[in-house]
Structure 1
Amino acid sequence: MRTHLASGTQAARVVVRRVAWRSPWLDMSTLALITIVLVKCLDRRWDEPPMLAPLLAVPPALAGIGAASVRRPLAYGGVSMLAALFVWLKPTEFAGSLPGATMFTIVVITAVATLGTAVNVRQERRIATVRSVAEAAQHALLRPPPQRLGGLGFDVVYVAAAAEAMVGGDLYEVTRTAEHGIRVIMGDVRGKGLDAVELAADILGMFRELAHDAHTLGELAIRLDTGLGRSLGRYEEFVTALLVEIDQESGRASIFNCGHPPPVLISAAAGDAEPGDPGNRSVALMEVPAPAPPLGLLALGDCSGGQLSLHLQPNDQLLLYTDGVTEARDARRRFYPLPERITALARAAVRTPASNGSARHGLLDLLRADLLKHVGAPLEDDAALLLIQAPATWSPSLATVTSHAEPIVS
């Protein structure tokens, strides 16, 4: 599995770059403010108290905003205090009143900014510790699928959210069964943090067991929902889920949607053009007539319209994803237009395949890069993408092939 961990080392680098970008502006602004105060207070005839002197308390207050160390507000407070001393030493009848009050204000503001920074740094470290534990648990339970299974190709990309965001409960799994072909789940727990990761682990554990026994996807959804019901009172969240079943011999597929974003079918051939032609790609949302309620709430609604059947043609691709993709917003708060973008990206992936020659890898690479470009910053919510690639030809012999390639790594 290849991941783009915006919440880990890369996120830390992003934050460092932003702080580095802001620091020169703060330094220059502070220097300009102190220079103006000193010029106005020292290079003029004082006929009235120097009203600009209290502005020297501003730099330590600004330095405490978002500071990563207490040394920053202390340093700015020291520079402001030196400037106030220069004003205090100017021989004037006001030297002992207003400058003295300014120095006292600088001391108080510096102390408050330092204390606030210390508390904030401690809180951020605590949050980072909790997040690292949740990420470790999440990565442990999200096992990468094999590159090929029963003739189908699989690829996964997980794009983590910003460092400040809590870990989400995105989940996925691919299981090969003896009687029901290949079954796949893509889900998203409503909620964040360790509780969401724990619930995702329970769902995946139940799916890995029930996928072999349930006769239909509808039955599988009901049994997953029942399993959550046994934990009533333990969980207060629900899980949107997409269940997919694919026959390895014929390419017949079924989709059961429990309140999850619909998958995207990328058709490899249309019309009379040759398959594999970059210009020969069509994209369609596989929307069921009426999605069933999410897992955990399944008994509260009608599930009769939650299923859809389709036939995967050779080289077709089926993209499953979580709402962290479609709900990603740019600077103007516009959602990421996945159906429109995937059309162009699928064609570009054929023109420029990945280094290993696999166009499906190139598609997720392009999609991840395009998503991050659209947002322009780390995502506010985790996003998972699972791409299923149909073989070049459907053959009954594929059902007997057991290919366990090495997991996809970044």
Structure 2
Amino acid sequence: MADDKPPRPTILAALPFVVMAIVTVVDVSAGPGVGYLPLVALGPAFAGLVGGWRRTVVIGAFALLLCAALGIYNETYSQRRVYTAMASVAGVTVAGIAAAVMRQRRESELASVRTIAEVAQRVLLRPVPRSAGPLRIAVSYTSAVAEARIGGDLYEVVVSPHGVVRVIVGDVQGKGLEAVETAALVLGAFREAAHEEPDLTSVGDRLERAVRRELQGEKFVTAILAEVTDAHTITLLNYGHPAPMIVRPDGTTAFPEPPRYALPLGLGLHGVEGPQPYATDFAPGDQVLLYTDGVTETRDRTGAFYPLGEQAFLLKEPDPQAALDAVRADLVEHADGPLHDDAAMLLLRYQRL
């Protein structure tokens, strides 16, 4: 990632005094004939960068006293330029106070927005269970929007009353609030269907009806549904979503593709058959990583995509969450900067007997 970091608050806090000290030394050294005195106004100009308006008032008052002291020292207190310098300091101080008040209001509003976003995240993307039967589970979500907590990617894990674990990972077309609303719609429908429907195909049909009923135009949601039972298999239902990555105990990987590609949720046509469920082995020691295309479509500076299959060794960490965090850190390092798309990952690890 880039090494550029904002200046530390302590440096910004000391900046007004450092600037006024430099101006004082230069003015005294140069003498009254040069006229560096108006530069004292830089002190209150920098005061509003950190702290509140009261701090700006204090620094402005100090700058006025400094102007007066320098005028007396240089024996030019009666000259017009001294009063002009003091008027400049007063004007800059007033402007700095206004800027500090506005900055504090913006910071307060941003804090409120962040709080609302965190609440929305807890409602929309609830914490998934860390274990379900023989499975250990980990999740990771990285938003492409600065300061955002949520976006158009979605995931959920539901343990049905019969002990069947059902999972969804999806990606809503578009960004912003509309994408978040669509994600909430899909998650709400999945949570109900995963508890009530007898099989994975019925869960998918219910999602299709809910999305088609609510979405307008050509909006859609790519999604992959998974179902894990005690039969050492995982059943998948793919709605135009990237194939999951399966990692075997010996480190080999596979990306099981569906027998027939299907349209995303919301684009299904009446009379057109939906996706077919397909199963693959999922035994103790195996791992299944479901993810959104924000992972595999992340590019580095040369334009190369993130090589997820080649980085599967990162999932060897004993703790599933630590393993997934290692993949996420590697993904961000590959991008060498902010991601251009949301990236969600959900790891299912079948515990060894």
Give the corresponding residue for 2:46.
Answer: 62
Residue 337 and residue 197 in structure 1: after superposition, are their counterparts in 2 closer, same or farther (change >3 A)?
same
Give the corresponding residue for 1:167.
Answer: 150
Q: CA deviation digits over 1:143-190, x for unaligned, max 9? A: 5236123x4x03123457698335335432223569995431012444
Work out which of the residue numbers 310, 315, 322 in structure 2 matches 1:346: 315
Deviation of 1:386 (Å) = 1.9
Give the corresponding residue for 2:265.
Answer: 295
CA contact (8 A) 1:313 1:390 kept: yes
Q: CA deviation digits over 1:242-264, x for unaligned, max 9? A: 22234532415324043x45432
Matched, 1:388 2:348: yes
Matched, 1:248 2:248: no
Gaps spanning 5+ residues in structure 1: where? 1-17, 269-279, 355-359, 394-410
CA contact (8 A) 1:242 1:255 kept: yes
> Quick one: distance in 1 between partners of 2:304 and 2:78?
59
> Quick one: distance in 1 between partners of 2:302 and 2:105?
32
> Quick one: distance in 2 between partners of 1:236 and 1:119?
42
Deviation of 1:236 (Å) = 9.9
Give the corresponding residue for 2:207.
Answer: 224
Three-state SS of the structure 2 residue aligned to 1:168 is coil
TM-score of the two chains, using structure 1 as the length reference: 0.65
Give the corresponding residue for 1:39.
Answer: 25
CA contact (8 A) 1:315 1:392 kept: yes
Three-state SS of the structure 2 residue aligned to 1:202 is helix
Residue 326 and residue 80 in structure 1: after superposition, are their counterparts in 2 closer, same or farther (change >3 A)?
farther
Gaps spanning 5+ residues in structure 2: where? none
Deviation of 1:100 (Å) = 2.5
CA contact (8 A) 2:224 2:236 kept: no
Percentage of matched positions with identical amino acids: 32
Residue 71 and residue 225 in structure 1: after superposition, are their counterparts in 2 closer, same or farther (change >3 A)?
farther
Residue 40 and residue 252 in structure 1: after superposition, are their counterparts in 2 closer, same or farther (change >3 A)?
closer
> Quick one: distance in 2 between partners of 1:328 and 1:62?
40
CA contact (8 A) 2:40 2:67 kept: yes
CA contact (8 A) 2:142 2:342 kept: yes
CA contact (8 A) 1:293 1:303 kept: no
The 5-angstrom pairing of residues 96-107 of structure 1 reads 96-107=79-90
Deviation of 1:138 (Å) = 2.6
Deviation of 1:281 (Å) = 0.9
Q: CA deviation digits over 1:308-340, x for unaligned, max 9? A: 65333442100123466567799x799994616
> Quick one: distance in 2 between partners of 1:292 and 1:104?
73
Greater relative contact order (Cα < 8 A, sep 6+): 1
Give the corresponding residue for 1:398.
Answer: none
More divergent stretch after superposition (364-373 vs 106-115): 364-373
Work out which of the residue numbers 284, 287, 298 in structure 2 matches 1:317: 287
Residue 108 and residue 157 in structure 1: after superposition, are their counterparts in 2 closer, same or farther (change >3 A)?
farther
Residue 32 and residue 127 in structure 1: after superposition, are their counterparts in 2 closer, same or farther (change >3 A)?
closer
> Quick one: distance in 1 between partners of 2:62 and 2:46?
13
TM-score of the two chains, using structure 2 as the length reference: 0.74
Q: CA deviation digits over 1:282-331, x for unaligned, max 9? A: 2344566896554344559x99789765333442100123466567799x
Three-state SS of the structure 2 residue aligned to 1:249 is coil
CA contact (8 A) 1:53 1:84 kept: yes
Residue 91 and residue 173 in structure 1: after superposition, are their counterparts in 2 closer, same or farther (change >3 A)?
closer
Give the corresponding residue for 1:117.
Answer: 100
The 5-angstrom pairing of residues 2-401 of structure 1 reads 22-27=8-13, 29-47=15-33, 49-50=34-35, 52-65=36-49, 67=50, 69-91=52-74, 96-141=79-124, 142-145=126-129, 147-149=131-133, 151=134, 153-159=135-141, 164-165=147-148, 167-176=150-159, 182-189=165-172, 190-192=174-176, 197-211=180-194, 212-213=196-197, 217=201, 220-221=203-204, 223-232=206-215, 238-258=220-240, 260-268=241-249, 280-286=250-256, 294-298=264-268, 310-322=280-292, 337=306, 339=308, 342-347=311-316, 349=317, 353-354=318-319, 360-367=320-327, 384-390=344-350, 392=352
The amino acid that maps onto 1:363 is A
Three-state SS of the structure 2 residue aligned to 1:230 is helix
> Quick one: distance in 2 between partners of 1:164 and 1:96?
52
The amino acid that maps onto 1:59 is G
CA contact (8 A) 1:253 1:312 kept: no
CA contact (8 A) 1:180 1:215 kept: no
